[in-house]
């Protein structure tokens, strides 16, 4: 479709304006389309040529209106690093429109870096090329890994200067999601004691995204259970691929269980459960190994914010919410154990399987083994034969002890080496978006060459393949990668 043919269906904008503020983007100087995701464009049936059109650029940049669009900035609050901030909101993001595709799916079309909104909190509302490219690449990389995430449609660059720690190149990111409603969207009304605003927003989310719950008297309680389960599944998937979010504040947690708001993030190089990807996280609150427990803490904040929906009796509402929150750990453990079983190539289940995975991770942490490379190498393991993976460990005797147990486990289920390798290569990626890969692409883009962004994007879209274009990014990181630092400004 062309831009003018898109089917706009702005159901969030049809809610009361207490949930948002209408605002138009502030145009950037001379924006230029520098990269786009073809698969994201297909989600809204948008013709790729339409992305390149002057009309699309003018619409995204706020130079011209598009009939049917209804731009707004969403209101929310949130707990940031454990402390409640009473009003946040879209400070540099503007929801241009909601688009319904030919399959009946609704997608938010949101621009990030579109200028000041009522929630900018003295900020300029702009985005820089550095952070924009990181989110663009990681959104699409996570999707290719099979992990629920917001999507990134395209990136625009601009000659306009944006001031951060230094003068940087201005940019716009166009991102998409079925919804950008987050835990903090409910917290803001709970803490304002505007409880009457909770139900319309919850009903909107349920109507749009949990239609099986519509009309049920206990729909809010069952919705809370779904959010808990979706979140547990998401975090288990993060842990499985070695992804650290960096800013797991409640305002960055999606009620749909999506990976939301890529600021400072990082994928593990060597396996380190204490890995802190965010230089601004001085206390290590969001360290890699803490993500599962932080998710539960965030879910408790969300559950508290919808207590008035669960029961008119506060004590009864609290008991219902607590009962569901207590199921989080078992849900997470089940998802985590299944992820690890898949990574180990196990088709059947035995009681000691989780311990087998934990023992391997302990060895990897002790010997500082590369997380992605070691699991990818594990698919070549054959019981009774020496494994190439062995050479990645300093304590080879300890690895041999583990390998004997692993090999016996595979033999008990009559594992076929060829079939197992295919299955393991389908869940253990050859490549992830390591920080040094992103930094290399960013440095070239800031110099005016966006070819590496496109090359890297193509490889990241096929992370489980073994062809040369993918494997070119599959090696160990260079020594200088240790010097890369990302923070909340990233």
pLDDT digit string, tens, across residues 194-241? 999 999 999 999 999 999 999 999 999 999 999 999 999 999 999 999
Residue-level pLDDT at 314 = 95
pLDDT value of residue 387: 79
Mean pLDDT to the nearest integer, 282-293? 96
The predicted model scores a pTM of 0.96
Q: What is the pLDDT of residue 19?
A: 98
The pLDDT assigned to 209 comes to 97
Per-residue confidence (pLDDT) for residue 489, from 0 to 100: 59
- Look at residue 122 in the predicted model and tell me its pLDDT: 85
Whose CA is closest to 113, among 155, 165, 51?
155
Q: Rounded to the nearest 10 degrees, how much is the dihedral formed by the CA atoms of 145, 148, 150, 153?
A: 40
Is the pLDDT assigned to residue 110 strictly greater than 80? yes
Question: For residue 385, what pLDDT is reported?
Answer: 81
pLDDT at 11 over 70: yes
Q: Mean per-residue pLDDT for 89-113?
A: 96
Answer yes or no: is pLDDT of 58 > 80.
yes
pLDDT of residue 452: 97
Q: What does the alpha-carbon distance between residue 366 and residue 480 come to, in Å, rounded to a whole number?
A: 22
Across residues 397-421, what is the average pLDDT?
96
Share of the chain above pLDDT 90, in %: 92
pLDDT over threshold 80, residue 154: yes
Widest pairwise Cα distance in the chain? 68
Report, as residue numbers or ranges, the catalytic residues.
Answer: 251
Q: Which of 53-67, 226-240, 304-318 has the lowest mean pLDDT?
A: 53-67
* Averaged pLDDT, 476-483: 89
Asked if pLDDT for residue 1 goes beyond 80, the answer is no
């Amino acid at each position: 479709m062309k831009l003018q043919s898109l089917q706009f269906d702005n159901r969030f904008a049809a809610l009361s304006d207490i949930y948002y503020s209408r605002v138009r983007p502030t145009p950037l100087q001379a924006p230029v389309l520098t990269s786009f995701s073809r698969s994201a464009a297909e989600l809204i049936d948008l013709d790729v040529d339409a992305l390149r059109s002057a009309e699309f650029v003018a619409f995204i940049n706020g130079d011209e209106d598009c009939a049917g669009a209804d731009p707004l900035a969403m209101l929310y609050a949130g707990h940031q690093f454990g402390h409640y901030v009473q009003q946040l909101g879209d400070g540099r993001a503007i929801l241009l429109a909601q688009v319904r595709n030919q399959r009946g799916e609704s997608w938010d079309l949101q621009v990030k870096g579109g200028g000041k909104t009522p929630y900018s909190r003295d900020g300029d509302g702009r985005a820089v090329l550095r952070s924009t490219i990181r989110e663009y690449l990681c959104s699409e990389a996570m999707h290719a890994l099979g992990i629920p995430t917001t999507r990134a449609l395209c990136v625009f660059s601009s000659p306009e200067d944006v001031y951060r720690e230094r003068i940087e190149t201005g940019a716009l990111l166009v991102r998409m999601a079925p919804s950008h409603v987050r835990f903090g969207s409910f917290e803001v009304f709970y803490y304002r004691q505007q409880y009457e605003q909770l139900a319309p927003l919850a009903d909107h989310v349920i109507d749009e995204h949990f239609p099986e719950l519509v009309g049920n008297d206990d729909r809010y309680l069952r919705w809370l259970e779904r959010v808990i389960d979706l979140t547990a599944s998401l975090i288990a998937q993060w842990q499985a691929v070695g992804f650290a979010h960096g800013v797991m504040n409640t305002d960055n947690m999606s009620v749909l269980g999506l990976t939301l708001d890529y600021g400072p993030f990082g994928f593990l190089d060597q396996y380190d459960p204490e890995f802190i990807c965010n230089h601004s996280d001085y206390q290590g609150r969001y360290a890699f190994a803490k993500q599962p427990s932080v998710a539960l803490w965030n879910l408790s904040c969300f559950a508290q914010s919808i207590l008035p929906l669960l029961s008119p009796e506060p004590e009864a509402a609290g008991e219902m919410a607590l009962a569901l929150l207590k199921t989080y750990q078992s849900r997470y453990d089940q998802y985590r154990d299944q992820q690890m079983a898949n990574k180990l190539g196990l088709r059947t289940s035995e009681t000691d399987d989780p311990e087998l995975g934990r023992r391997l991770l302990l060895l990897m942490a002790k010997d500082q083994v590369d997380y992605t490379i070691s699991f990818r190498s594990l698919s070549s393991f054959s019981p009774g034969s020496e494994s190439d993976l062995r050479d990645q460990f300093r304590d080879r005797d300890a690895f041999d002890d583990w390998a004997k147990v692993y090999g016996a486990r595979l033999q008990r289920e009559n594992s076929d080496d060829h079939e197992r390798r295919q299955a393991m290569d389908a869940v253990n990626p050859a490549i992830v978006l390591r920080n040094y890969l992103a930094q290399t692409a960013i440095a070239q883009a800031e110099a005016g060459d966006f070819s590496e962004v496109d090359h890297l994007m193509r490889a990241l879209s096929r992370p489980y393949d073994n062809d040369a274009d993918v494997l070119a990014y599959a090696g160990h990181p260079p020594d200088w990668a240790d010097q890369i630092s990302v923070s909340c400004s990233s």
